[in-house]
Amino acid sequence: MRSSIRIASGQGFWGDLLTAPRAQVSGGPIDYLVMDYLAEVTMSIMQKQKNKDARAGYAKDLVTLMRDILPDCVEKNIRIITNGGGVNPLSCSDAIIEVARSLGLRSLRIGVVLGDDLLGSIDELSAAGHSLRNMETGESLSSVRNRLQSANAYFGAAPIVEALRQGAQIIITGRTTDTGLTLAPMMYEFGWKDDDWDKLAAGTVAGHILECGGQASGGNFMADWKSVPNLAHIGFPIAEAYPDGDIVLTKHETLGGMVTLETVKEQLLYEIGNPQEYITPDCVADFTTIRLVQEGPNRVRMTGVKGKPATEFYKVSMSYLDGYTSFGTLTYSWPEALEKARMADDILRTRLNDLGLEFEEIRTEYLGVNSSHGPLAPPAHDPNEVVLRVGVRSQDKDAVERFGKELAPLILTGPPSVTGFAGGRPHPSEVISYWPALIAKSAVKPEVVLRVL
């Protein structure tokens, strides 16, 4: 058993800082690089890509990244774990194998985790008695069945651990929990059992801290953002894990940012409901038991985390088509910019009403005045400029499209001194809504495929 391991966060979402993984690999010693690419809406985007091209449906940024860092990772024996496989982890592994071959690498072992994609088996699962009701509203899945875009079970650390046991140097998964990416190396390296709830909870909390990348090391830091050094070259967080379940949160000293009690605590509060029941497929972690100590510069030690047994269910993240939306903007300049923008909004709404168009929602924002704080914003005093932003939503695509055609006429048939209309008429975009559900773990089986170059 190793005395400790260093697990580095490389991405917090699909679209995160492209240079962060390279900085983690080059900036100092690490044993694992974990990269989280997925959010609920990301799965639906990837599924649409796969519907158009059977070879697509994964984070293509990941393949470009591999061309850069893979030789160093192989040389330094850094294992890579990522859920960037999206809805097509096999095709993602194909692309990485091509990159490895082009780089002249040999004997590379890639573990691929499959089984989370349930879209093709929804009817079979429903017939077997798995209702997949909306876990928040209780609504029957039948109400949106014909509009489903994606359906994925959230796997935890277990299949990743199995891939590590099979010798995988790179592990590509689909919809794996953000926390499972970090927990798995600890389970594998330290031999933690799948019912050692306190240790699993500690690894899970560490995964929660790492899952948003630089947010735990000074990025998006509310308490004292001006104090964060060298944000331009921020170092993403690293979990230095020990067999007893202690975790030290740190970063490479060669990089910017900072790891303090405050930055870690802010990240701990991210997306937390009941702090005593942070539910994952691996365990239920009690965040009220976490103890943090600043033991040195950029070193926060976490101890005392308690956990409880995992539930019998996987969470299932589904998305479905829920109408159309469109947004448009116009900029009004001083003097009386806000008054002009408000009159333009009133004219637009009147014309839409005259046309008999009905929308589920019409939303108006005045950027620079109240778009962030709404009615809580203090009164504006004759601002230099105001951006009028109007959006509509409807199940009727034609109505949404007509809205886009009514915006431009305001330029010459509304208040004066308007500018900023560029890019042509706004067009309808599909609205993808979220459907959370639960399914018995016994109904879904993860599968690990080992591919050897």
Tens digit of each residue's pLDDT (9 = 90 or more) over 49-69: 998 999 999 999 999 999 999
Confidence of residue 39 (pLDDT cuts 50, 70, 90): confident
Specify the pLDDT at position 252.
Answer: 98
CA distance 239 to 210: 7
More confident residue, 81 or 43: 81
Task: Decide if 283 contacts 200 (C-beta within 8 A).
Answer: yes
Specify the pLDDT at position 41.
Answer: 82
CA 344 from centroid of its chain's CA atoms = 37
170-172 vs 32-35, strand pairing mode: unpaired
For residue 343, which of 402, 386, 377, 384 has the smallest C-alpha distance? 386
Tens digit of each residue's pLDDT (9 = 90 or more) over 282-301: 999 999 999 999 999 999 99
Q: Which strand ranges, in their side-by-side order, compose the sheet holding 291-296? A: 291-296, 299-303, 247-250, 238-241, 5-11, 32-35, 79-82, 170-172, 109-114, 447-452
pLDDT greater than 90 at residue 421: no
Mean pLDDT of 256-260: 98
Instruction: State how far the alpha carbon of 298 is from the alpha carbons of 202, 212, 218, 246, 284, in Å.
Output: 19, 17, 11, 16, 28
Mean pLDDT of 154-159: 98
Specify the pLDDT at position 40.
Answer: 80
Domain 322-434 bears CATH identifier 3.20.20: no
Specify the pLDDT at position 423.
Answer: 73
Helix (H) or strand (E) holding 87: none
Tens digit of each residue's pLDDT (9 = 90 or more) over 310-324: 999 999 999 999 999
Mean pLDDT of 129-133: 96
Specify the pLDDT at position 138.
Answer: 96
Task: Decide if 298 contacts 251 (C-beta within 8 A).
Answer: yes
Specify the pLDDT at position 125.
Answer: 97
Taking all residues of the chain, what is their mean pLDDT, rounded to a whole number? 96
Specify the pLDDT at position 44.
Answer: 86
pLDDT greater than 80 at residue 422: no
Specify the pLDDT at position 404.
Answer: 95
Tens digit of each residue's pLDDT (9 = 90 or more) over 168-188: 999 999 999 999 999 999 999
Listed by start position, the domains of the chain span: 5-116+154-311, 322-434
Confidence of residue 447 (pLDDT cuts 50, 70, 90): very high
Tens digit of each residue's pLDDT (9 = 90 or more) over 320-358: 999 999 999 999 999 999 999 999 999 999 999 999 999
Task: Decide if 141 contacts 132 (C-beta within 8 A).
Answer: yes
Specify the pLDDT at position 106.
Answer: 87
pLDDT greater than 90 at residue 396: yes
Does residue 297 have a cis bond before it (omega within 30 degrees)? no
State the chain's maximal CA–CA distance in angstroms.
Answer: 75
Specify the pLDDT at position 420.
Answer: 83
CA distance 119 to 117: 6
Specify the pLDDT at position 306.
Answer: 98
